[in-house]
């Protein structure tokens, strides 16, 4: 089947945003008088839990059980403040897209291939990033945007990708997903999608088994990415022409799925 859409995750995939999210969580905790702090090593572990509210609850249940009774009901309030702080950070400081993202999205639009987003993050976080990183086009670049609060189960469940495919009106075989985490790859694969993985600063040690390609970034002409596993991209960057070629190979059973486990 001809390639008809690319579906992108947001945090860590479009841009390296997780450190900003971590700072926003800590600022929210401090503003509310909570003696909690998430240093980078802890946050890296907490990222295995998809969704900000779910992450806070997991933190309470596992590391602050004495605070569960007092603060469990406050999680929506805490997360709302965190979202407000993160959105302000994004709008105040220009977000830099990861290498190759802007180029590939422009190529995709020019080729008449549709763009979608499937993420577990809050819609407000998505809006802030798109308005900052893709100004002035913003949300108009992506015909379908599915955020985590719209589905019953977050990644690694396939729900966000299932909804994105339904709204696109396309089969999984007509699309390719882009992710930066093991949970994201699992989610996309469970929805039947081929996945290109670009590990981010907080996920570089994840196991990307199931991705058809693992590369350090989407790459740029003259600034090639590092090939980690799976499909090799001519000249070291992911292009629409090569994605179309790979999609056709998969459709005809010539593109074997990658089985990759980071040792």
Enzyme catalytic residues: 9, 11
Dihedral pair phi/psi, residue 69, rounded to 5°: -60, -40
Please count the other Cβ atoms lying within 10 Å of the Cβ belonging to residue 254. 9
Give residue 173's Cα distance to chain centre. 20
Residue 67 to residues 74, 191, 256, Cα–Cα distance (Å):
11, 37, 49
Token pair for 86: 């993160």
Rounded to a whole number of angstroms, the distance between the first and last alpha carbons of the chain is: 34
CA 258 to chain centre: 20
Element (H, E) at 197: strand 194-197
The residue behind tokens 């969580």 is: 25
**Eight-class DSSP state of 138:** G
Token reading at 88: 């302000």
Candidates 176, 222, 216, 215; CA nearest to 195 is 176
Q: What CA–CA distance (Å, rounded) separates 251 from 69?
A: 52
């Amino acid at each position: 089947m001809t390639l008809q859409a690319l579906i992108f995750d947001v945090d860590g995939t479009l841009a390296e945003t997780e450190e900003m999210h971590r700072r926003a969580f800590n600022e929210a905790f401090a503003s509310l008088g909570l003696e909690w702090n998430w240093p980078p090593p802890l946050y890296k572990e907490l990222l295995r839990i998809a969704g900000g509210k779910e992450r806070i609850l997991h933190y309470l249940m596992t590391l602050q059980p004495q605070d569960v009774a007092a603060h469990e009901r406050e999680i929506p309030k805490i997360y709302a403040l965190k979202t407000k702080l993160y959105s302000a950070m994004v709008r105040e400081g220009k977000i830099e897209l990861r290498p190759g993202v802007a180029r590939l999205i422009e190529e995709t639009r020019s080729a008449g291939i549709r763009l979608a987003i499937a993420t577990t993050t809050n819609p407000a976080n998505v809006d802030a990033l798109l308005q900052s990183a893709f100004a002035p086009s913003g949300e108009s670049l992506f015909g379908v945007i599915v955020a985590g609060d719209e589905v019953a189960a977050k990644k690694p469940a396939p729900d966000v990708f299932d909804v994105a495919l339904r709204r696109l009106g396309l089969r999984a075989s007509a699309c390719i997903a882009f992710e930066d985490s093991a949970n994201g790859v699992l989610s996309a694969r469970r929805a039947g999608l081929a996945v290109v993985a670009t590990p981010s600063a907080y996920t570089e040690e994840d196991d990307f088994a199931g991705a058809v390609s693992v590369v350090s970034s989407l790459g740029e002409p003259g600034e090639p990415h590092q090939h980690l596993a799976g499909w090799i991209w001519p000249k070291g960057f992911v292009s629409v022409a090569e994605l179309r070629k790979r999609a056709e190979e998969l459709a005809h059973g010539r593109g074997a799925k990658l089985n990759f486990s980071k040792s």
